[in-house]
C-alpha cells in the first residue's frame, strides 16, 4: 500500500467520523451534554494529529476547519438550553392535561 493511498484512507476516515458526529448532533442522538463534550474532546485529539498536514494540504485544512466548527457546535450550551426548555414545556402541557382530567385542584 502506498503512502498516498494510506493518506487518502485516513482522510476519508476523519471525514466520515465528522459527518457521523454532525448527523448525530443534528438529529439529537446524544443522550446528554456530557456525551457531546466527550465527542468534542475526541475530535480535538484527532485534530491535533491532523493539524501538521493542514499547512500543506487543502483537504486537511478544510477538514480541520470543519472539525473546529463541529467542536463549537458540540460545546454550545444554547442547544442544551433549547432542548431542556422544549421538554419542560411538554411536561407542563402534559401535567395540565392530566390535572384538568382528574380535577385534582378542586
| pLDDT score of 54 | 82
| pLDDT score of 57 | 87
Question: Tens-of-pLDDT digits for all 106 residues of the chain?
Answer: 687 888 889 889 999 999 999 999 888 888 888 898 899 999 999 899 888 888 888 988 999 999 999 999 988 877 666 666 655 556 566 556 555 554 544 4
Whether the CB-CB separation of 22 and 70 falls below 8 Å is answered with: yes
Q: What are the C-alpha distances in Å from 58 to residues 5, 11, 61?
A: 17, 11, 5
| pLDDT score of 90 | 60
Domain boundaries, the chain: 3-75, 77-106
pTM for this entry: 0.70
Amino acid at each position: 500500500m502506498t503512502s498516498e493511498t494510506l493518506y487518502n484512507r485516513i482522510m476519508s476516515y476523519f471525514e466520515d467520523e465528522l459527518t457521523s458526529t454532525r448527523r448525530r448532533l443534528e438529529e439529537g442522538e446524544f443522550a446528554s451534554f456530557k456525551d457531546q463534550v466527550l465527542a468534542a474532546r475526541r475530535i480535538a485529539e484527532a485534530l491535533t494529529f491532523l493539524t501538521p498536514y493542514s499547512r500543506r494540504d487543502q483537504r486537511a485544512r478544510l477538514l480541520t476547519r470543519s472539525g473546529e466548527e463541529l467542536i463549537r457546535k458540540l460545546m454550545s450550551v444554547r442547544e442544551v438550553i433549547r432542548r431542556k426548555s422544549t421538554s419542560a414545556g411538554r411536561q407542563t402541557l402534559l401535567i395540565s392535561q392530566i390535572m384538568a382530567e382528574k380535577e385534582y385542584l378542586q
